[in-house]
């Protein structure tokens, strides 16, 4: 089901006029994540961008890694029409297929606790190897987030809340990266976060 509150006005306010994460900044992050996957010898043949927004991650992969099968999704009908994503509510729907790399950035804060738990299970089911996961936490809102530029119509949770749920499926590698427990990725002891 599409969310009407993520409309053209929302995207103009948070993504286009003065974006918190610019296209150039997100492209640097996509480059770094892709390079870490290469370091871990994870062949990224497929990539899922959940809550793709204006599509910076998926566009980077389409341009820089044209052989990668890219799927981008969003819960916003506007974003799907404007940026070509598939309509998907990760809090209630499991993505079709399994992907080498799954990206979910600034999505779960919009979901209540039950939907966020389902979303994490759905992300795990869709991830073959690596998940890049980012969401603002209570601590982030206190210490790091620009309160003038951030949408505060969200569910605020402690980082530990997310980590406990993610730890069931993934090993935390740091910098927002989580490696699926069932994957063949080998992490050295100090690459793992505790």
CATH code at position 99: 3.40.50.150
Average pLDDT, the chain: 89
In a domain, 27, yes or no: yes
CA 151-33-142 angle, 5° bins: 30
- The number of distinct structural domains making up the chain is 1
In a domain, 25, yes or no: yes
In a domain, 134, yes or no: yes
Indicate whether 3 pLDDT > 80. Answer: no
In a domain, 2, yes or no: no
pLDDT tens by residue, 56-88: 999 999 999 999 999 999 998 888 899 999 999
pTM: 0.90
What's the domain range around 21? Answer: 8-191
What pLDDT sits at residue 150? 58
In a domain, 3, yes or no: no
In a domain, 150, yes or no: yes
User: Which of these, 46, 66, 70, lies nearest to 58 by C-alpha position?
Assistant: 70
Direct distance between the N- and C-terminal alpha carbons of the chain, in angstroms, rounded to an integer: 37
In a domain, 1, yes or no: no
- Dist. CA 25–CA 188, nearest whole Å: 28
What pLDDT sits at residue 152? 61
Indicate whether 105 pLDDT > 90. Answer: yes
């Amino acid at each position: 089901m599409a969310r009407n509150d993520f409309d053209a006005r929302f995207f103009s306010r948070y993504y286009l006029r003065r974006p918190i994460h610019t296209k150039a900044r997100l492209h640097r992050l996509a480059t770094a994540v892709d390079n870490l996957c290469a370091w871990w010898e994870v062949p990224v043949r497929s990539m899922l961008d959940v809550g793709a927004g204006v599509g910076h991650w998926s566009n980077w992969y389409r341009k820089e890694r044209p052989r990668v099968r890219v799927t981008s999704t969003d819960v916003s009908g506007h974003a799907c029409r404007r940026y070509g994503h598939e309509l998907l509510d990760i809090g209630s729907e499991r993505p079709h297929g399994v992907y080498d790399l799954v990206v979910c950035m600034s999505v779960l804060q919009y979901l209540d606790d039950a939907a966020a738990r389902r979303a994490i299970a759905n992300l795990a089911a869709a991830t073959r190897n690596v998940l890049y996961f980012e969401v603002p936490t209570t601590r982030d809102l206190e210490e790091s987030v620009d309160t003038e530029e951030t949408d505060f119509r969200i569910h605020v949770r402690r980082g530990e809340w997310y980590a406990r749920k993610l730890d069931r499926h993934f090993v935390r590698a740091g910098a927002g990266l989580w490696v699926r427990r069932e994957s063949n990725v080998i992490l050295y002891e100090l690459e793992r976060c505790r």
